[in-house]
Structure 1
Amino acid sequence: MALVALVTFLSFSSITKPVEATALTYNVAAHERACFYTWADIPKKKIAFYFAVQSGGSFDIDVEVKDPKEKTILSLEKERQGDYVFTANEIGEYSFCFSNDMSTFAEKVVDFEITVEHEKRPAQIDQSEKGTGPQAQAQAMDESLFRLTGELSQIDRMQKYFKTRESRNFATVISTESRIFWFSLTESALIVIMSAFQVFVVRTFFSNSKRSFV
């Protein structure tokens, strides 16, 4: 499976100048809808779309993918991560939109990648010629490269998955550490206040008793 850089145009609504790239990290502000676009020059190409929310809120976001005729291909709500492949049946511009309308103030950092996967198997040769001649050797090399590319693609996706898990676990550790700090600080303050209150009550008790005795 040969991977061809998909992105002819990648741009979003807040920037007029197109950005040429296949992988991006974008900070989606609260109540923002950010759309990115790519162009499919011929039909029947496969488009791979991967995204993962790295930080912000509950690590979820709304995603919508549309074809050049504004037909919805993919619609997701409050999704944390996704890896999808679909066939580009129409020639034209495909849109990939991230919506953060559900958040009041939390920003979401989204890491995503858009790729065209142009699958083309090497041509088959006659069984009689198999194993002999330069054509058979070239076919064997093409098949080996085909399998190797697929395995590398799988490894790349697994690395992205573990990267996302690491980012989320690190954010959880930071959040837990912050909560423990503030809880300990609050507990210490309450202990000091209760100690001062007890001292005040005891002093008041003995002071009132002494005055009554006199």
Structure 2
Amino acid sequence: MRVLYCHLEVLICFHPGEILEVSRACDFLTFGYPCHPVIKMCGAHHVRVLVQVLWAHLLFGWVFGSELTFELPDNAKQCFYEDITIGTKCTLEFQVVTGGHYDVDCRLEDSDGTVLYKEMKKQYDSFTFTAAKNGTYKFCFSNEFSTFTHKTVYFDFQVGEDPPLFPNENRVTALTQMESACVSIHEALKSVIDYQTHFRLREGQGRSRAEDLNTRVAFWSIGEAFILLVVSISQVVLLRSFFSDKKTTTTRVGS
């Protein structure tokens, strides 16, 4: 939190050499070392670090695959395509959020049509592979086995690995205190995003199950109420028939 706060302070620095007025609130944030010496002077190095951080986030948005939630109708099949170079490590993760028994068929093929992954009626799964050839890879989700239930499917297809946040991160040279803090924050935020995604999926699936259960209970209650009403009316009619006076009529037959 201390470094995040200080990093936000750096955002307001536009001119090298400008003195920042750091709030004393920074002293109450606990990250293990003082805050003021880190960004007391906003120099060209700090501006360069900020630009590198923003550029790394832009690269992260362009390089790494796709994440999507879509509706899959009954008796339908949906395919997606991704261009992948040889030697790239990829991960496909999916989960059925709503619909039926929360299952779907998944199939992954390489550019030559070779099946790399195939599972039937899976609720969720994760598959990691390394591309053995260049080309367009295809992965499909099928709901063809379902006759009347559509599904909501989430998938996350990650292509490649994170580029280093700073150019010299993988070198022998040591990172500065601010660069190390930025790397730690970057990794922590990625973990937070992953946790938020999984909890959001679990919440959506739980809400769908609860709504489905509520609908079933409501219809069952209406059915029971209707049956109870019919039985009550039938009993009343039957009891009235026991106590009703039957009038007998005589008919004379004339000669």
Matched AA of 1:36: F
Q: Does 1:25 align with 2:69?
A: yes
- Among 165, 171, 178, which residue is 2:202 paired with? 165
Which protein shows a greater Rg? 2
Give the number of the structure whose residues are more often strand, by fraction.
1
Matched AA of 1:5: W
What's the offset of the Cα at 1:158? 2.3
- The structure, 1 or 2, with the larger RCO (C-alpha pairs under 8 Å, 6+ apart) is 1
Aligned to 1:203: 240
- Among 68, 71, 95, which residue is 1:52 paired with? 95
> Matched residues in 2 for 1:147 and 1:70: separation?
41
The count of corresponding residues between Structure 1 and Structure 2 is 187
Aligned to 1:155: 192
Aligned to 1:136: 174
Could you say what secondary structure the match of 1:43 adopts?
coil
Matched AA of 1:158: Y
What's the offset of the Cα at 1:62? 0.5
TM-score by length of 2: 0.63
- Among 127, 130, 135, which residue is 1:92 paired with? 135
Task: Determine what percentage of the aligned residue pairs are the same residue.
Answer: 26
Q: Does 1:5 align with 2:48?
A: no
Could you say what secondary structure the match of 2:160 adopts?
strand
Q: Which runs of 5+ in 2 are unaligned?
A: 1-58, 249-255
Could you say what secondary structure the match of 1:63 adopts?
strand
1:57-96 equivalence runs, <5 A = 57-96=100-139
The alpha-carbon distance between structure 1 residues 151 and 50, as it changes in their structure 2 partners (threshold 3 A), is farther
| Cα RMSD, aligned residues only | 2.8
Could you say what secondary structure the match of 2:100 adopts?
coil
The alpha-carbon distance between structure 1 residues 184 and 150, as it changes in their structure 2 partners (threshold 3 A), is same
Contact 1:6 1:114 in 2 (8 A): no
Contact 1:48 1:86 in 2 (8 A): yes
What's the offset of the Cα at 1:147? 5.4
Write out per-residue CA displacement over residues 17-75 of structure 1, whole angstroms, 9 at most, x where no aligned residue. Answer: xxxx72222222222221100001x3211112222212111111000111112221111
More off after superposition, 91-100 vs 68-77: 68-77
> Matched residues in 2 for 1:50 and 1:5: separation?
19
Contact 1:3 1:117 in 2 (8 A): no
Write out per-residue CA displacement over residues 122-179 of structure 1, whole angstroms, 9 at most, x where no aligned residue. Answer: 4442xxxxxxxxx4235x7766655554443333232222112111111121122112
Matched AA of 2:77: R
Q: Which runs of 5+ in 1 are unaligned?
A: 8-20, 126-134
Could you say what secondary structure the match of 1:76 adopts?
strand
